[in-house]
Structure 1
Amino acid sequence: MKRFSLSIAACAALAACSGGNPFAGTDTETPDSGIPAALASDLDGVTYNPVAQTLTVRGVSLDNTPYEVVYERKPGLDRGGYEAYTAQQSSLQRHTTAYVKDIDGTRAAVVVTGGQFRHYFAGTVYGRNGAFDPPPSNSENQLVSYAGNYVGLLNMAGDGGDLKPVAPGTNPDIRPVQAAEVTGKVLVNADFSDNMVNGSIYERTIVDGGTALSTLDLDPTTIDATEGTFTGEVSINLQNKGTYGGIFGGQDSSAVAGSVFVKDHIDGVDNEEEYGIFVLPKCGTPGQDALCNQPNP
């Protein structure tokens, strides 16, 4: 699939718009296979060490010299509990942004290069440590909720604050850009008795400029009863806009990790695309989101 970046002018115009493989060891890997092609795209896999805070990325083109690249930790770009990492070999080469998060050995990562020469590269991965462990079948309620934050990256230029400086007067047509970030909230409901899952990504905002974006609905889809994985469609007002997928992990499926790819989903903009991830704790577990504290009659 060919991916095209949007111009800086298109991003300025947007401001006026509204609305797998198991893990093992300390260095742990997301699967190199098993992710739907629409979500994996250019990304072959990552190796992540949450203790040392290192992220090694495999497969993204033109992000650096070797096939496996160790990205640089950038705490100033962290969003909603997702750790940020970036790579840029020189001021005239592509800038790449990555986000990763882990809960109970269940994790996801998104990697997106900023546009240069009108094209960009991107992809997502997710996985878990160990086998699928659904809630016990004899529990009172196998209908459970997961809630937390979302982070995504667009094929549009952000503020460029992490770019290496170029010489004054460098033609904008050859300068790399830094991908714009999207933040939001996620609610996922899963029924392990019927093996169905659905959800929503809401309160979505482009970080640079504060532009509000439409809610993305994660349409109902089946959970694989053996692997604890799922794949479905993303929609806005019942109109298909892309694909999502994910995996349940941890004891009694204490966490869920997944990713989305959507396009043509922002009013007033053409050819826009977004890759994003969510890693969420189950309501009723340590670290649950504040949304879980709802009155229960």
Structure 2
Amino acid sequence: MTRFLTAVSVVALLAACDNEQPLVFPDDGTETNLENEGTVTDGDGEPILDEEGEEIEFADNGIPEPIAFNLVSADFDAGDETLTVTITSLDSTPLEAVYERNTALDVDGYVAFSQQEDALDRFFVGYGQSSNDGNTTGVLVMDGGQFTRFIAGVYYTQNNYTPHVSSQPDNGLVAYTGRYIGILNFDELDDSQLLTASSGIPANLLAGQPARVLGDVLINADFVDMQVNGGIANRRVASATALDPFTLFDIGLVPADILENGTFFGEANRPDASAVGSYGGTFGGNEASGVAMGVHLTGDFIPEIDNEEEFGLIVLTKCGLAGDGPFCDDAQPDFDP
């Protein structure tokens, strides 16, 4: 669980940016078809270390712990537009919570859901998407914070994975383009999705509605050298929030090894190459037809404030296939769709 920054507090930052910020922080906390366990490693089998030099572990669901965080499992059905979620705690009375479809929160490329059991409970936002062939799926869940903490995580699965096989022996490069959805650890100014409390309870005890971030994505993968990298640009808030006067850095996803099962884990950087978090995901489908990945930003990626934190989701179809992304016209696939 992580600390959360309220909209009122963000406005106050304009006058006092050096003060300690009341951010909501994550609640530190499992089932995918990813057969990963133990320590996260690179393509040579060497452990990947975090910023403190500690080995990064997989959660029980096979997703790296910094990405999975509190999210144990999720079942997103793109056809029926349904989402069932299991997190560590506090989203609903049943262990598996069925989130409600929420078209008011839809963004380009992702299907929105929400969950709030009553006006005194946390308000969760969920986003899901699958690649066009359904072989790669990702889900992002995060609440709007309550009692100085938030709950969040990303979940992804793949089926029928085989690596991209180039028809040109000297070229295994493929591209994936599309949209990004992220959620930050502070409120939107708009709280229209929250249930209304009528008892006179102090507002500071109630849940918030989290701020959302949109962006454009390019992922490039090399299935000869088995490397992936990419970036998230044009990052902006989805609706009016106290974040509006602030800078949202573009994010670089630095090169990482693609493992034999199609999964990967790497570092996220801001434009000056400073590390600001991590990303992890999986390719899925025949010849890596899709990719699903999560992003967890924890460093100084909004220069005007401290202790900001963001979870994000990327789900894309390979350029050259039906249902590919909006910028794929510039790609030159080395295969026949």
1:234 counterpart = 2:275 = no
| Structure 2 residue aligned with 1:26 | none
- For 2:143, the aligned partner's letter is T
| Structure 2 residue aligned with 1:260 | 295
1:290 counterpart = 2:321 = no
Contact 2:76 2:129 survives alignment (8 Å) = no
| 133 and 214 in structure 1: CA distance in 2 versus 1, 3 angstrom threshold | same
SS class of match (2:67): helix
User: TM-score, normalization: structure 1?
Assistant: 0.89
- For 1:38, the aligned partner's letter is P
Counterpart-to-counterpart distance in 1, 2:167 and 2:111: 37
| Structure 2 residue aligned with 1:115 | 145
SS class of match (1:76): helix
Alpha-carbon distance, 1:216 to partner: 0.6
Counterpart-to-counterpart distance in 1, 2:12 and 2:230: 30
- For 2:130, the aligned partner's letter is D
Post-superposition Cα deviations, 1:252-296, rounded to whole Å, max 9, x if no partner, equal 111111010002311111211100000011111112223121287
- For 1:202, the aligned partner's letter is A
Post-superposition Cα deviations, 1:224-253, rounded to whole Å, max 9, x if no partner, equal 0x2011000001121000010111112211
Post-superposition Cα deviations, 1:206-236, rounded to whole Å, max 9, x if no partner, equal 1122735110100111100x20110000011
1:21 counterpart = 2:33 = yes
| 11 and 273 in structure 1: CA distance in 2 versus 1, 3 angstrom threshold | same
Alpha-carbon distance, 1:137 to partner: 5.0
Counterpart-to-counterpart distance in 2, 1:200 and 1:157: 25
Counterpart-to-counterpart distance in 2, 1:72 and 1:209: 23
Contact 2:165 2:223 survives alignment (8 Å) = no
- For 1:206, the aligned partner's letter is V
Please, which of 203, 211, 218 is the counterpart of residue 180 of structure 1? 211
- For 1:153, the aligned partner's letter is I
Show the 5 A alignment for 1:78-93.
Answer: 78-93=106-121
Alpha-carbon distance, 1:160 to partner: 1.4
| Structure 2 residue aligned with 1:272 | 308
1:207 counterpart = 2:238 = yes
1:12 counterpart = 2:40 = no
Post-superposition Cα deviations, 1:141-184, rounded to whole Å, max 9, x if no partner, equal 21111100000111111121210012274312111111111110
| Structure 2 residue aligned with 1:134 | 163
SS class of match (2:330): coil
Q: Which structure 1 residue ranges, 4+ long, deviate > 6 Å from structure 2?
A: none
Superposed CA RMSD in Å reads 2.0
| Structure 1 residue aligned with 2:72 | 44
- Structure number with the higher strand fraction is 1
User: TM-score, normalization: structure 2?
Assistant: 0.79
| Structure 2 residue aligned with 1:59 | 87
Counterpart-to-counterpart distance in 2, 1:15 and 1:262: 22
Counterpart-to-counterpart distance in 2, 1:143 and 1:49: 30
Counterpart-to-counterpart distance in 1, 2:186 and 2:216: 21
Question: Which piece of structure 1 moves more, 4-13 or 281-290?
Answer: 4-13
| Structure 1 residue aligned with 2:178 | 148
Unaligned runs of 5+ in 2: 16-31, 35-58, 333-337
Please, which of 257, 271, 294 is the counterpart of residue 222 of structure 1? 257
1:35 counterpart = 2:71 = no
Question: Which piece of structure 1 moves more, 2-11 or 153-162?
Answer: 2-11
Identity of aligned residues (%): 39
**What number of residue pairs does the alignment pair up?**
282
1:251 counterpart = 2:286 = yes
| 99 and 278 in structure 1: CA distance in 2 versus 1, 3 angstrom threshold | same
Counterpart-to-counterpart distance in 2, 1:163 and 1:60: 22
Counterpart-to-counterpart distance in 2, 1:190 and 1:295: 12
Contact 1:15 1:209 survives alignment (8 Å) = no
Counterpart-to-counterpart distance in 2, 1:286 and 1:12: 45
